[in-house]
A and B are shown apart, each in its own frame.
Chain A
Amino acid sequence: MSEIFSPIAVPAAKPAQVASEGAATRAILIGIAVAFLALFLVLPLFAVFTQAFSKGIGAFLDAFREPDAWSAIRLTLTVAVIAVPFNVVFGLAASWAIAKFEFPGKSLLITLIDLPFSVSPVVSGMIYVLLFGSQGLFGSWLIDHGIQILFALPGIVLATVFVTFPFVARELIPLMQEQGTAEEEAALTLGASGLHAFRTVTLPNIRWGLLYSVLLCNARAMGEFGAVSVVSGHIRGLTNTIPLHVEILYNEYNFVAAFAVASLLAVLALITLVLKSVLEWRFAGELAHGRAH
């Protein structure tokens, strides 16, 4: 391990590494990479916590004495509780249909499912404004019938579902494709019904991939800002999620409170990262490979 930093200590018996750089070059490259990551990625995270506690723990806690903070937390949890299970059911259905069967147009279907990832968050929210806004396609009909979608929970849930739509499906599709259909066929020859085979064979085989995708889906659902910001209407105590509440506090120059609430999301991100890494280290063989979000 330490050989990188003390080239003289390399045991003589070790064969020369022709397929690598010299120890000094390696040390320099590692140094640059780590320094870059520390500066660009880790420092901002660090800043969230230092700012949150910059006026002491009392000021930090004050941010959570506000009822608006709690209503934002409640709303964010509500949205996640609806959006994540929805995406799990959708992801299971989509991956079952796509991975276990052969039909024409499959890659087009996968591309369409991936589509929300290539749409700007702001545009993701905007498309619902165009449909349900007062000037939108269904706007007057909704007003006539007294149905509120925009600037209310349904709109926020829809926008969140849209931006997290591909998460579960795109993890499970390659995973199920890798696993093929042999085990399900074996279960069927042994007399199991389709549902029994799904429950006892398919689900256990994809459990870690499913958990992995739920983690990422949940992190995005709770943290989504752009799309939700467009559809929420920023009504304090009513339609503000945690990220929107952070924005309002920040724009009011209430920095400590903004960072205190933001630190909640930062902790969520850290937990997500830790669990995700644990899954990757322990169950690498049971996750889909070649992922790039």
Chain B
Amino acid sequence: MNSRTAGRTDGPLDRPSTAIRVENVSKTFDTAAVLHDLSLDVRAGELIGLLGPSGSGKTTLLRIIAGLDAPDRGRILFGDDDATGLAVQERAVGFVFQHYALFKHMSVADNIAYGLNARRRADRPVKAEIKRRVGDLLDLIRLSGFGDRYPSQLSGGQRQRVALARALAVEPRVLLLDEPFGALDAQVRKDLRRWLREIHDRTGQTTIFVTHDQDEALELSDRVAVLDRGRLEQVGTPDEVQEHPASATVMKFLGDSVEVEAIAEGGRVLVRGRETPVVAPAGTIGPVKLYVRPWQLQLAEPESAHLSGTVRSSYRTQGRQRIEVVDAEGRVLAVEDFDGVRYAAGHPVGLRINGGHVFG
């Protein structure tokens, strides 16, 4: 699917020591619970995406790790050290804010140097050293020569990179990014994603980022943590969460799917009495919901079909044929097919189920 899977077999995944441990964290704002008893281990050197719809608590979790919010219950550990009581200044995290929070009145170079200049005199690098570090970081973010500009003179993507360099300048234990590409337009997003992945591969920096965009999480992360309404639904590699979603919520959140009434019986799943290739979880018996992706549906002759309906519309997108079928109950079923046959609206068709998931 992309270059990283091939190039990184001997990457950070081989040394899964825990860099950050979130232990039974709960958080309530005013009266609304935002996080419920949530636990998560982040491995050293990994790039992990916190994926969830808005209101799922992912940004709150990120802020609690950074020390910007305090948990009501639970602990945050950095390595083996309890960091729950540490002030934000003492945590040595690099936080990239959603809207960057660049200091408007400071040049790019001063923004990047801010964390170093804020140190006590004894710990502060000498001026020349700060200058060198800023220069290196400007090179890293490919903005050499932009040090004297001001944030207002930069494009959105450039600001994003400056915010990243500013966070990296303090050599943080962990890099935390809140919707890092949320405020950018589509093309810049794509470029920056690839670039962030490159930076990560080069620096090996433990990184947590928050996103509501499935493609972004799946493309970028070593592992994805799916959150919903303050609970952790699943953690796993992009392949794991896609191929083996742990719940209907994860399934639905990761892409389009159709809900089909089915019967589970001795490990098999039947739709309208016809067997499907789907395996039911052990012990599941009786009526169940079968979740099917559009590409797991195929047009078929009525005698071998699980479902039937009439074509509402069909169109081509990115080399695939997408057909929308309306069944007897008026539900719209999306089918993705390579068949290439064009169907007129109103044409009756049968659909065969080639795969799907049933959750216990």
Complex A–B touching at CB under 8 A: yes
Q: Is the CB of B118 within 8 A of A186?
A: no
| Option from A182, A191, A201 in Cβ contact (under 8 Å) with B115 | A191
Given A182-B101, A201-B103, A205-B104, A191 and B95 contact (CB-CB distance below 8 Å): no
B190 within 8 A of A: no
Q: Is the CB of B93 within 8 A of A187?
A: no
| Option from B67, B97, B119, B169 in Cβ contact (under 8 Å) with A186 | B97
Query: In the complex, which residues of chain B have a beta carbon less than 8 angstroms from the beta carbon of A190?
Result: 114-115, 118, 166-167, 169-170
Q: In chain A, what residue has the closest Cβ to B166?
A: A190
Q: How far is the CA of A196 from the CA of B67 in the complex (A)?
A: 18
Query: In the complex, which residues of chain A have a beta carbon less than 8 angstroms from the beta carbon of B184?
Result: none
Q: In chain B, what residue has the closest Cβ to A180?
A: B101
- In the assembled complex, the CB of B70 is this many whole angstroms from the nearest CB of chain A, namely 13
- In the assembled complex, the CB of A204 is this many whole angstroms from the nearest CB of chain B, namely 4
B99 within 8 A of A: yes
B interface footprint on A190-229 (CB within 8 Å = 1, 0 otherwise): 1111001000110011000000000000000000000000
Q: Is the CB of A191 within 8 A of B92?
A: yes
Main secondary structure of the interface of B (DSSP, over half): loop
Q: Is the CB of A192 within 8 A of B97?
A: no
Q: In chain A, what residue has the closest Cβ to B94?
A: A189
Number of B positions contacting A (CB below 8 A): 26
Query: In the complex, which residues of chain A have a beta carbon less than 8 angstroms from the beta carbon of B88?
Result: 185, 188-189
B interface footprint on A171-193 (CB within 8 Å = 1, 0 otherwise): 00000000000110111111111
Query: In the complex, which residues of chain B have a beta carbon less than 8 angstroms from the beta carbon of A201?
Result: 103
Q: How far is the CA of A31 from the CA of B67 in the complex (A)?
A: 61
Given A191-B89, A191-B92, A205-B104, A196 and B99 contact (CB-CB distance below 8 Å): no
Q: Is the CB of B101 within 8 A of A191?
A: no
Q: How far is the CA of A186 from the CA of B94 in the complex (A)?
A: 9
Q: Is the CB of A204 within 8 A of B105?
A: yes
Q: How far is the CA of A188 from the CA of B115 in the complex (A)?
A: 9
Q: How far is the CA of A193 from the CA of B120 in the complex (A)?
A: 10
Supply 5 further A-B pairs (C-beta < 8 A) apart from A187-B118, A189-B95, A200-B114. A186-B101, A186-B102, A186-B166, A191-B170, A204-B106
B residues in contact (CB < 8 Å) with A: 66-68, 88-89, 91-95, 97, 99, 101-106, 114-115, 118-119, 166-167, 169-170
Give 24 A-B contacts (CB < 8 Å), ordered by A residue. Answer: A183-B102, A185-B97, A186-B97, A186-B101, A187-B114, A189-B66, A189-B89, A189-B93, A190-B115, A190-B118, A190-B166, A190-B167, A190-B170, A191-B89, A191-B115, A191-B118, A191-B119, A191-B170, A192-B89, A193-B118, A196-B118, A200-B118, A204-B103, A205-B105
